[in-house]
Amino acid sequence: MIEINNITKTYGSGDAKFQALKGVTFTINDGEFVAIMGPSGSGKSTLMHILGCLDTPTTGTYFLDSKDVSTQTDEELAEIRRLHIGFVFQSFNLLPRTTVMRNVMLPLVYAGVDEEERENRSKKALLASGMTESHFAHMSNQLSGGQIQRVAIARALVNDPSLILADEPTGNLDTKTGEIVLGTFQKLNKEHGRTVILITHEHEVAEYAERIITIRDGLVVSDSKSHSRKHSYVNN
């Protein structure tokens, strides 16, 4: 699914030049659950922006679903994001006085999908993310942090993307709630075959993935299977 070849990213020029990525290469296969881990300043956020087609590399190539997206225009990148990538962020980004169902349906409204299809796809995405139908009519500001993040996951799923990209998705959650959300990603990966990339600075979080790519000072310093993976996911 993903092929990154010698990606670099440089910001600024002259004395202010800073190289955030210094030649990153890896592949991620369809159906993998991969964590990209690194401390603040490691380059992982820059890499996340490139993987999510929110930015382009200075040099190198990025193939997503066999398409070279490293030289696309802003309009082309926006279309790739809409069709192929589902984002889950630390800050949730839900509309607070809007129902769970409406929050999930919004991307489909913008895409011009008819009302019945919007509702069917939104219900399917919410159930896949672990939400129960009794919560579909709740306002998002009536939910717990973990429930809100599950709604955000459902919203990321609703366009049926080939890639789920989660940027520090447990950063605003307590440990127990974070474990439930991470278990939801495991379930989406194992039971629904979703490709998931998890961006984190915490090794405890990265252990939920099958594979951990560690970034430091703009370079990949390790890429290995997770040896202490938490195999059971929480369903409630």
CATH code where residue 103 lies = 3.40.50.300
Average pLDDT of the residues of the chain: 89
| pLDDT value, residue 235 | 46
Residue 105 identity? M
Angle (CA) 202-41-20 rounded to 5° is: 130
- pLDDT computed for residue 11 by the predictor: 93
> Is 231 part of a structural domain of the chain?
no
How far is the C-alpha of 93 from the C-alpha of 152, rounded, in Å? 8
- In eight-state DSSP terms, residue 2 is E
Q: Is residue 235 part of a domain?
A: no
Does 233 fall in a domain?
A: no
Alpha-carbon separation of residue 103 from 16, 150, 174 (angstroms) = 41, 12, 23
Residue 230 within any structural domain of the chain: no
Q: What is the pLDDT of residue 230?
A: 64
Each residue's pLDDT tens digit, 163-184: 999 999 888 888 888 888 898 8
Per the structure block, which two tokens stand in for 82?
A: 């809409």
111 within some domain: yes
Examine residue 236 and state whether it is found in any structural domain, yes or no.
no
Give the contacts of 62 (CB within 8 A, at least 6 positions apart): 2, 3, 4, 5, 7, 50, 51, 68, 69, 70
Low-confidence ranges of the chain (pLDDT < 50): 235-236
| Residue 158 one-letter amino acid | V
Compute the distance between CA of residue 144 and CA of residue 177 in angstroms, rounded to an integer.
9
Q: Does an H or E element contain 196, and which?
A: strand 195-200
**The total number of structural domains that make up the chain:** 1
Q: Exposed, middle or buried by CB within 10 Å (0-12, 13-18, 19+), for 130?
A: buried
In a domain, 179, yes or no: yes
**100: containing domain:** 2-225
Q: Give 176's contacts (C-beta < 8 A, 6+ positions apart).
A: none
In a domain, 17, yes or no: yes
